[in-house]
Amino acid sequence: MHPLNRLAPRAALCLALLASALGAHAQTPLQQGPGAWSANQTWASDSTHGGALSGYYYWPATPPTLDGKRALILVLHGCGQTAGGDVINGSGDAGYNWKAMADSYGAVVLAPNATGNLYSAHCWDWAATNRSRSHGHNAVLLDLVKRFVSNPQYAIDPRQVYVTGLSSGGAKAMVLACTAPEIFAGVGISAGPAPGVGSSQISSVPSGFSASTAAGNCTAMAGAAAGSFATQVASVIWGTSDFVVAQAYGPLDAAAMRQVYGGGFTQGASVSLPGSGSNLPYLDAAGKVRTSQITVSGLGHAWPAGSGGQNANYVNATRVNYPAFLMDFWFTNNLRVAQAPAPLMSACSASVSGSNVTVSGAASFDGGAIASYRVLLNGPSPIDDAAAGSGGGFSKTYAGRPDGTYSASVTASASNGQVSAACNIAPFQVGSGVAPPTYTCTTSSASNYAHVQAGRAHASFGYALANGSNQNMGLYNIFLVSTLAQTAAGYYVLGACP
């Protein structure tokens, strides 16, 4: 990629304003977006570099998966790229591959173009020495975030705002995370030089420049907002074939963020990722994952888009799907949203009177109300009733069931979309009937994404639910692995066969 750019800072986005926006959103009904990239927008003028900040946004039609509010993802292209040509590359999103993740998590994605055409290569001003929030790209980007967070139609949660980018965009993402840590709950840095080095120092780390140097620069950028580093998380990724930005910046950036976050850290076990990636997590003293560093074998200087992205102009579709990893990393480890436990089924039962089957159940949810119960009745005349009741408990009769052996399960959905584990009801008889033949149980272990694709589970509100039992397997993605046992035709439960 072309030499990276020069930095810039500032657009006021204070915590008080965000807190008031959060309160307003709590009262605003969630609106469904068009589920398509917008036309090119013009958002604001850049008084430092000239021109106007333009770009695109994606507003999903799907509901959000965390706390009933949408996340906002700011995605920054690299030098020699543009938002329209590379981050999006058409309405089909064959660029950085963000559309699928926006849909899966119900998140709004922003893809702006760098203003000013720094270095004649459309770079972001990551290396600028003026790091004020009211200067250069800091100003126009923070203003852009403010526009979306403060607009109630998007229902953005100020606690779920993230930033990521490639190369100069990755370096700028780190600058923004350092400059405004109270705004960005998480950052994803792809092949980005550290804050404090110059645009001529991208191919090697300068002598004497260390993670401590970068951490000091980062903390200085935050100023009075440095306390918000206590609840921020960071992911860093780089390729073993990147000979544009020094590979040594990858682990240096991650180590710098750990120093900024403060306290002791424990290195977790390295995990292999689909697409020749190896992820090394670090946990803080409370056992929370705070940083992730991914080395991708054979990846050059490019955004790792995974299958579905473009495979040209510094975007690689043959390696790790970084958008999928980032969304899982951010949503799983967000320290600013109190992630209430899923609702809990406390009881369920079935009773038979003639040909009528009455199913009852009760559940509780610490984070709010039970919005609905779902009854799955398996047997000669199956039923899938997603509106069996609501509140603390329910009882519903299903009349005229044919004779035979039945089983059932009940799940509860909370007001924020979380789904309980299934409460399973043992097989029971209606009429005389004939018991079904014995079924040989089989076990499958795979990613939640693979389970859904294979027909063993289905996706709902960003989660994977086992078919039949409707048990919540966790987030619907390629990284979370679950074991399912098929105990009857079309019926799966979490765990191994009995």
Beta bridge partners of 385: 375
Contact in structure between 483 and 456 (CB atoms under 8 Å)? no
Which pair of structure tokens corresponds to residue 148?
């979306």
Q: How far, in Å, CA of 107 to CA of 328, rounded?
A: 12
What's the rounded Cα separation, in Å, for the pair 29 and 63? 11
- The token pair at 36 is 């398509």
Active site residue: 167, 407, 413, 420, which one? 167
Q: What is the 3-class SS of the chain, one letter each residue?
A: CCCCCCCCCCCCCCHHHHHHHHHHHHHCCCCCCCCEECCCEEEEECCCCCCEEEEEEEECCCCCCECCEEEEEEEECCCCCCHHHHHHCCCCCCCCCCHHHHHHHCCEEEEECCCCCECCCCECCCCCCCCCCCCHHHHHHHHHHHHHHCCHHHCEEEEEEEEEEECHHHHHHHHHHHHCCCCCCEEEEECCCCECECCCCCCCCCCCCCHHHHHHHHHHHHHHHHHHHHHCEEEEEEECCCCCCCCCHHHHHHHHHHHHHCCCEEECCCEEECCCEEEEEEEECCCCEEEEEEEECCCCCCEECCCCCCCCCCEECCCCCHHHHHHHHHHHHCCCCCCCCCCEEEEEEEEEECCEEEEEEEEECCCCCEEEEEEEEECCCCEEEEEEECCCEEEEEECCCCCEEEEEEEEEEECCCCECCCEEEEEEEECCCCCCCCCCCEEEEEEHHHHHHCCCEEEECCEEEECECCCEEEECCCCCEEEEEEEECCEEEECCCC
Give the phi and the psi of residue 112 in degrees, each rounded to 5: -90, 160
Tell me how long the chain is: 498
Cα–chain-centroid distance for residue 375? 30
Active site residue 351: no
Q: For 15, how many CA atoms within 13 A lie in the half-sphere containing its CB?
A: 11
Distance (Å, whole) CA 184 – CA 161: 5
Q: Which residues are catalytic?
A: 167
